[in-house]
Amino acid sequence: SAPTRTGLRLEQLVGDEIVLVVPPDHPFAGRVTVPVEELDGQPLLLREEGSGTRRSVEQALAAAGLSLPAGAPAFTLGSTQAVLQAVTQGLGLGFASARAAAQIESDGHLACVRLAGVDLTRCLYLAVLPERVGDPLIARFVNFARSRVASQP
């Protein structure tokens, strides 16, 4: 659902999906989906408390009546790129935007897997101050952002 914040106008930019990212030689790499229960005992690399990715994962799991395995996370990292790099180095499994992981996956340095029975789709938004909505520079930026995300996988 759209974030709520008074005083801002939210422009939906693009749909996104959070996926489980795993090293290419991990047993999960050849699979389309993995049940959450199979994450038990796996070293999980998660974003910090309060990050949108982590919040989305925790909320989606809760909605499916599930939770992260006990002991998760093995590591807490401060950015999506840090999670992706740690996975490519074989430090564990992580959650990341499919859009953010696409290039690294196509290069063969990691694999993306979906969690079975868990909806991890979300929308990404651009926040604009209401008094700036009619500003031509802001309109150009919003159009630029939309065209950029539309041209990416």
Domain 15-123 of CATH type 3.40.190.10:
yes
Residue 17 confidence (pLDDT): 95
**CB count in 10 Å sphere of residue 58:** 16
Residue 1 confidence (pLDDT): 58
> pLDDT per residue over 101-111, tens digit each?
998 999 999 99
What does pTM read for this prediction?
0.83
> pLDDT per residue over 1-41, tens digit each?
566 666 788 888 888 899 999 999 999 999 999 999 899 88
